[in-house]
């Protein structure tokens, strides 16, 4: 049994600015925009599939139709509440001196995810994926149009990693060269020191024989 959540209370913010963290490992405003676009697409097309199939479904299995419709309305309420919070975050970010890719927006990103998938790690009745599967199982047709894809350079961490990779590689090569050179010099110095010391010992040993 999944506990009912007061979504209006769950998504309420006194001040969104205070919820911004560091960009390291967190979702950015740019990623949030892409995520909202993709989930808007999924919600709109599921709604359209539902509308197209409703006249047939309500006559074939009214109980399943009503149950699905109730879950669909709940999902829309959750998603719209989370989406409103995301839009607030995007609006606040427009006044900040950082680019969208460098402005953290992890809380609203996670809220969108939680609205669509109520329990992390599992499919729950009323989730977006659950509703899509039930509609299709009942005979509805889901869209095959590809969803919007993330734009380039929206992940600050990935961008930084890709930017620094050549530098790291160069540094690694340089370090290897330095250590190799130091090793050769050390061997030469050891040889210079060892030969004068060992020569008399070797000569004495030969003479004794």
Q: Are 148 and 35 a contacting pair, CB within 8 Å?
A: no
Q: 57-61, 91-95, 171-175: lowest mean pLDDT where?
A: 171-175
Q: Are 77 and 43 a contacting pair, CB within 8 Å?
A: no
Q: Evaluate if residue 36 carries a pLDDT over 70.
A: yes
90-144 pLDDT tens trace: 999 999 998 999 999 999 999 999 999 999 999 999 999 999 999 999 999 997 7
Q: Are 104 and 20 a contacting pair, CB within 8 Å?
A: yes
Say how far apart CA 59 and CA 66 lie, in whole Å.
Answer: 11
Q: What is the pLDDT averaged over residues 50-63? A: 97
**Please, what's the b/e burial string for 156-174 (b: 16 or more CB within 10 A of its CB; e: otherwise)?**
beeeeeeeeeeeeeeeeee
**Residue 140: DSSP 8-state:** -
168-175 CB contacts, 8 Å cutoff, 24+ apart: none
Q: What is the pLDDT averaged over residues 179-193? A: 41
Q: Evaluate if residue 84 carries a pLDDT over 80.
A: yes
What pLDDT sits at residue 148? 67
What pLDDT sits at residue 26? 86
Q: Are 137 and 63 a contacting pair, CB within 8 Å?
A: no
- Which residue, among 126, 145, 153, 167, has the nearest Cα to 48 in the 3D structure? 145
Q: Percent of the chain, pLDDT > 70?
A: 57
More reliable by pLDDT, 207 or 70: 70
Distances in Å between the Cα of 25 and the Cα atoms of 102, 141, 144, 157 are: 11, 38, 32, 7
Q: Are 33 and 90 a contacting pair, CB within 8 Å?
A: yes
Q: Evaluate if residue 45 carries a pLDDT over 60.
A: yes
- Which residue, among 48, 159, 50, 42, has the nearest Cα to 112 in the 3D structure? 42
Cα Dmax for the chain? 113
Q: What is the pLDDT averaged over residues 154-170? A: 42
More reliable by pLDDT, 185 or 203: 203
Q: What is the pLDDT averaged over residues 186-203? A: 42
Please give the mean pLDDT across all residues of the chain: 73
Q: What is the pLDDT averaged over residues 133-156? A: 76
Q: Are 119 and 36 a contacting pair, CB within 8 Å?
A: no
Any idea where the domains of the chain sit in the sequence? 7-153, 155-209
More reliable by pLDDT, 66 or 3: 66
**pTM for the predicted model, two decimal places:** 0.63
Tokens of 153: 């350079």
Q: How far is CA 58 from the centre of its chain?
A: 39
């Amino acid at each position: 049994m999944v506990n009912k959540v007061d979504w209006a209370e769950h998504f309420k913010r006194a001040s969104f600015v205070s919820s911004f963290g560091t960009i390291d490992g967190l979702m950015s405003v740019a990623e949030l925009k892409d995520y909202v676009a993709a989930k808007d697409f999924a919600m709109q097309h599921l709604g359209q599939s539902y509308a197209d199939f409703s006249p047939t479904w309500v006559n074939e299995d009214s109980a399943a139709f009503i149950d699905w419709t109730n879950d669909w309305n709940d999902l829309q309420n959750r998603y719209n509440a989370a989406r409103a919070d995301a839009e607030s975050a995007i609006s606040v970010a427009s006044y900040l001196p950082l680019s969208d890719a460098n402005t953290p927006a992890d809380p609203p990103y996670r809220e969108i995810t939680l609205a669509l998938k109520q329990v992390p790690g599992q499919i729950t009745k009323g989730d977006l994926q659950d509703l899509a599967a039930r509609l299709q199982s009942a005979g509805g047709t889901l869209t095959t149009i590809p969803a919007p894809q993330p734009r380039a350079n929206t992940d600050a961490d990935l961008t930084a990693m890709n930017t620094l990779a050549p530098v790291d590689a160069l540094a690694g090569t340089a370090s290897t060269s330095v250590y190799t050179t130091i090793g050769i010099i050390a061997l030469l110095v050891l040889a210079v020191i060892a030969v004068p010391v060992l020569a008399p010992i070797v000569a004495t040993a030969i003479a004794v024989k």
